[in-house]
Chain A
């Protein structure tokens, strides 16, 4: 059975880095409206650094838990902003999952999304509706769990998660920020997309894209 293993994570981070690079300016512009304008830069640079880590031959031999701890270390060492500690915490939580489940079949995608979401929630302490990245991660997680409960294939779980994340991100337009820098705007954050939720939905779209197509053969990763 196909696994959510290190080669998968390496492909995922590369896809995420490309997505974020493509949306770097859009994310900065969204952040400029309600925050400090750095979100696209922090996200694109952070995931680019993690993607580079994945290209090292010695990284490919690592177990997922060890690879994720190195990836978290990149966020703690190089990224900063709010993104650094939030995604570092997500990756560390995922590493803990792999400590107990070194082999995670793709059908257990929801467990990985749960760990990532838990890490973000524990660090940022935001609630649903606070207009943060959690407003994309939480609906994505529920959608994946529900699909899993209905016996859906990994590809369908991931697609459901990506759609829910996209809807969750769009819904931040109607929310009033109460966390992060945008919180100081109060009702003036209404009508604006949360850049962290938008970038989270881009990450989840990469899960869907990768799981929709079969894994490449050896040497193509």
Chain B
């Protein structure tokens, strides 16, 4: 394992120190070492937006704390849900009295910790409502959509929910916007190599040389099938089909597209992949309104990529186009 770390058991703490020092305009520390907030949070009159999850997915989750984005984040160990108290303290850091929207991904640990934190928050007089992302089509069949994992579609969910909050929506409006965004998102992953948790020191699982795994999860959860390593164009076809065949897409839809690297795939390869994805979506009658290609939601040092496609209507389009500033996502007023 060739890594730039100090102590494999302190990777998260040591990393947080760096984020705080490098980006003081985006991050402020809180009394809980596992919670960072936007320095201006809580923003008077605005619904607080909170997320949280395991580390190792950077820039997710903390990289989406920022202007018109997430107000506070709960930070877990590598690939491990944050503790309930971290979510609770993040709610408190984000709440201006207008309530908090907790927008997170569908994993057993996150579900339990958030649920306990929401209960604890109610005792402290903080109203929290939640949206659980479940955009990964490979993680369960369509008739068990509630079992699907949340992956990079979470970024669109945060973007839409936080933009609604910035526009002045109340808690129910923010929740509705975030829910609508994730309901219109579908994602899939493609892994070329495994990844190594520093504290474990060896790869979590194995993908043989010359193979790749379609439908792989963000923590290396096994996918739909292991296939021979193929060209970027062929990989794009394998990824686009299961995504657009899942509801809700129909020809004539406008979509936002996000291609994220899993951590160790060069940007040029992501763009080679995107070029074909763009054309395939066009062939299916889906017009790309906005595309995001880069390392938005990673899995440590895994090679590979995820594809997320979101169907747009006028409301979601406006929320996605809303300007924002954060480490993971910054955009101006115009696309």
- Please give the residue numbers on chain A whose beta carbons come within 8 Å of chain B beta carbons, in ascending order: 25, 28-29, 32-33, 35-38, 40-42, 75-86, 88, 123-124, 179-181, 183-185, 188
> Could you tell me the distance in whole angstroms from the C-beta of B288 to the nearest C-beta in chain A?
29
Binding site secondary structure of chain B: loop
B127 at the A interface (CB under 8 A): no
Is the beta-carbon distance between B200 and A81 smaller than 8 angstroms? no
The CA of A76 and the CA of B112, in the complex, are separated in Å by: 11
Is the beta-carbon distance between B200 and A28 smaller than 8 angstroms? yes
Which residues on A sit within 8 Å (CB–CB) of B107? 181
Partner of B83, one of A38, A84, A123: A84
> Could you tell me the distance in whole angstroms from the C-beta of A32 to the nearest C-beta in chain B?
4
Which residues on B sit within 8 Å (CB–CB) of A124? 108, 112
Nearest 8 A-B pairs (CB), nearest first? A36-B219, A85-B112, A80-B83, A32-B204, A82-B109, A38-B80, A77-B85, A36-B79
Which residues on B sit within 8 Å (CB–CB) of A29? 200
Q: How large is the interface on B (under 10, 10 to 19, 20 to 34, 35 or more residues)?
A: 20 to 34
Q: When each residue 68-84 of chain B gets 1 if its CB lies under 8 Å from chain A and 0 otherwise, what string results? A: 00000000111111111
> Could you tell me the distance in whole angstroms from the C-beta of B196 to the nearest C-beta in chain A?
9
The CA of A33 and the CA of B200, in the complex, are separated in Å by: 13
Which residues on B sit within 8 Å (CB–CB) of A180? 108
What would 21 A/B residue contacts be, using CB atoms closer than 8 Å? A28-B199, A28-B200, A32-B204, A32-B205, A35-B219, A36-B219, A41-B197, A41-B199, A75-B83, A76-B83, A79-B83, A80-B77, A80-B80, A80-B82, A80-B86, A82-B109, A84-B83, A88-B84, A88-B116, A184-B147, A184-B221
In the complex, what residue of chain B is closest to A86 when comparing beta carbons? B112
Within 8 A of A (CB), among B83-115: 83-86, 107-109, 112-113, 115
B45 at the A interface (CB under 8 A): no
The CA of A36 and the CA of B79, in the complex, are separated in Å by: 6
The CA of A188 and the CA of B224, in the complex, are separated in Å by: 11
In the complex, what residue of chain A is closest to B221 when comparing beta carbons? A184
Is the beta-carbon distance between B222 and A185 smaller than 8 angstroms? yes
Is the beta-carbon distance between B112 and A82 smaller than 8 angstroms? yes
In the complex, what residue of chain B is closest to A185 when comparing beta carbons? B222
B220 at the A interface (CB under 8 A): yes
Which residues on B sit within 8 Å (CB–CB) of A41? 77, 80, 197, 199-200
The CA of A143 and the CA of B78, in the complex, are separated in Å by: 37
Partner of B79, one of A25, A37, A79, A86: A37
Which residues on B sit within 8 Å (CB–CB) of A76? 83-85, 116
Partner of B116, one of A28, A36, A42, A85: A85
> Could you tell me the distance in whole angstroms from the C-beta of A128 to the nearest C-beta in chain B?
17
> Could you tell me the distance in whole angstroms from the C-beta of B198 to the nearest C-beta in chain A?
10
Which residues on A sit within 8 Å (CB–CB) of B191? none
Is the beta-carbon distance between B76 and A80 smaller than 8 angstroms? yes
Which residues on A sit within 8 Å (CB–CB) of B204? 32, 36-37
Is the beta-carbon distance between B84 and A179 smaller than 8 angstroms? no
Task: Evaluate whether A38 and B78 lie within 8 angstroms (CB atoms) in the complex, with A78-B83, A79-B83, A86-B112 already known.
Answer: yes
Is the beta-carbon distance between B200 and A25 smaller than 8 angstroms? yes
Which residues on A sit within 8 Å (CB–CB) of B81? 80-82, 84
Task: Evaluate whether A81 and B217 lie within 8 angstroms (CB atoms) in the complex, with A32-B200, A37-B197, A37-B200 already known.
Answer: no
The CA of A78 and the CA of B140, in the complex, are separated in Å by: 31
In the complex, what residue of chain A is closest to B148 when comparing beta carbons? A184
B63 at the A interface (CB under 8 A): no
Partner of B205, one of A33, A40, A42, A82: A33
